[in-house]
Amino acid sequence: MPGRALPMTANRFVSCRFANSVLAAALGGAAALLVLSQAWGASHGGDEPPAQTLKVSKELKMRPTRIGPVETPEPDRPREPIWQVLQRRPDGVCARFVGEWDRVRSGSLVADDFRSLSPPDMAAGLGLATVYGPDTAGWFLSTGRFIHLKTTDSGRGYPTFSYESLARLGWAIGVTSGTAPSARILFDCGPETPPSLDEAIERLMAEARDTGAWLVAGHVVFSRVRGQSLQRAPADGVALNDESDPGNPRRSLSLPVENGRAPGLVVALVLDPEAIEKPVVSALARRFFETSRPKDGKRFLVRAHYALFGDPAPTIDPSLPLAGIWDVDEKEAAPHVETVRVALEGTVLERGHFAVWSIDVLERGYPRREVDLVDVAEVDPTILYEPRWATNRNFLGRPIYDRPRAMLVRPVAEAAARVNARLNARGFRLKIYDAYRPLSVTQRLWLQYPGTPYLAAPNRGSRHNRGAAIDCTLTDLEGTDVEMPSDFTVFDETSHRDYPYMSESARRHLDILTRAMEAEGFTTIREEWWHYDGPHWPNYPVVDVPFWPGPEDASRVDPPLIIDNRTSENGLSSRGASSHSGATSRVLPVFHDSETTEGVGPPEPIEAPGEIDTTDETRSALPMRERVARKEPERDSRSDSWETPTAPAPIGVPSDAGPAVGRVDRTRSYWVVGAAVAVFFVAFFLSLFHRS
């Protein structure tokens, strides 16, 4: 018996190991099957249609057009097709244009051809623009508040910028902020075959007033999208060509790029060639298209630009205007646009929230903002000025100004004068270190020191770029500096207002300055004791004018031209553009190139940094994101046909799908993990079986 005990125990042990290995393999196989089934569902089920259903439908199988609240599908139900008119107006609108297609095609654009624009002044638009100079101009689009631009700066990897501060338009069509769309439409193909971009546009045009010319803007999810970006700027004698061969150094275009399901923005100019006799349609066809004949099988002439979002992408919310996606909480990351391209044949839409403007008036140039920058010395000559940025006594250790002036917008300059009067009564004077700073200076600094916490990001601009902020200190009545917490631009904890080891004298002087500034409406920040923002600073636009402007260059002023469908292009309209929504007249800052600005030091050689992250805040230490309210236009008392439903609920990516971007990556991850689990447990089972 003792001789047989050991073999029996061994047999039992082997059989237990065999049973455990079988159980482990079964559990592993079940886990692998679960993961693989999730991968199959992610790639073939839910809201991602199978590959064979991506063929373009010849007829849109949608619900009939209706006006009313949106029916949002429940998360656990399949999406149903939606085609819903949210708003409709009978009025046409005035569109603004800049530039001529012939000059773009021939590469004849020069710096003086570019017109400055404050991007929040544009409700929607597309064309060619730049933020650094004509030689880096590229395709852009806007759906409000920001201009999204993919540059042709090959030295820095063709970065894409989203600019809220200031851009320059070389060739563009758009409508101004506050211009109510002729129609707003919510679209979702649901389980039906998604339409092509041309098919969707054809139906969108049927919902708006027929003027023969339309501008369309949308926040969309593409089922598939094809496009090309610009590789060389058509300026300074570089003609635009159709070459896209990577081996050709003079090519103008990239190779066509195709993306799968992706969220983004789209803006399109649409013309009806059958209405070419209308002056507006004829003028737009000549300025924005190669030919007045559409492609074979197409009804409309369409030029469309699109942008793709990075992850996470904003959710489509038809209860907000298109620009509302940028109004995010300060702790949240703003949406990030990764690229801008011209849309090509084969682009397919899955869903979208669209605004359509019916164009019946065309006006040259964009509305201009009046910016009344004044020298502080003209308002109060007793205010002292020590231009530290024109010396080496700053944190950069070198001057950034050549011939500076202490300039502010007039209301802020007058408030500073009242502050100085308050200080005089207590035996002190106000001394300014810095005030208005041209945007081109901010851009140059950002190129040399990208991401520096104490420098403003130029895509949003700073309070100084608006002429609405002051860096200042106290002196006695004789002009002698008094003790303050630290020197100017000493960016460490000693410059913080709550620095616990500040001397009593410095604390007292800081309190005197702060109380006088706050009494006149100035606000401050914690990290820089010397910095004060003027009253109502968000109301002033970012500007880029020199400290010492030269004689006015008449070539930069466009002659007035208004075209509407009741006149010819050779004559002015009998009704001014001001009779249309959003067509107010303001004065924009004069364009100047940072390398030729008088009064600003010439830029130093710059090493080419990597791509700039344009989603950074203007100043990392500040609550800098403006809360720019974008309200829907008020009801037009002249018409009873504009119906406004109750606010619909968002229809973004379904709750079980997560962000649209990255869907393909998650699917691939499911397959890889599932396969790895299966291989592991099979190998483990075989090894145990072999040992047994």
Q: What is the pLDDT of residues 164-202, one digit of tens each?
A: 999 999 999 999 999 999 999 999 999 999 999 999 999
Q: Model pTM greater than 0.75?
A: no
Residues 172, 305: contact at Cβ < 8 Å?
A: no
User: From CA 120, how far away is CA 176, in angstroms rounded?
Assistant: 9
Cβ 219 vs Cβ 319: under 8 Å: no
Chain centroid offset of residue 302 CA: 23
The mean pLDDT of 349-356, rounded to a whole number, is 97
129 vs 574 pLDDT, higher one: 129
55, pLDDT greater than 50: no
pLDDT at residue 549 in the model:
74
For residue 298, the model assigns a pLDDT of 87
pLDDT at residue 67 greater than cutoff 70: no
Which CA distances in Å does 77 have to 54, 381, 577, 655, 678? Answer: 22, 71, 48, 11, 32
Is the confidence at residue 230, as pLDDT, over 90? yes
Better-predicted residue by pLDDT, 22 or 153: 153
Confidence (pLDDT) at 189: 94
CA–CA–CA angle 259, 58, 322 (5° rounding): 50
* Mean pLDDT, all residues of the chain: 77
Q: Which two tokens stand for residue 547?
A: 């400290």
pLDDT at residue 27 in the model: 58
What is the rounded average pLDDT of the residues 209-216? 96
CA distance linking residue 541 with residue 236, whole number of Å: 29
For the chain, the maximum distance between any two Cα atoms, rounded to a whole number of angstroms, is 120
Q: Is 574 a residue whose pLDDT tops 50?
A: no
Give every CB contact of residue 357 below 8 A, 6+ residues apart in sequence.
Answer: 93, 95, 124, 175, 179, 181, 182, 208, 214, 215, 216
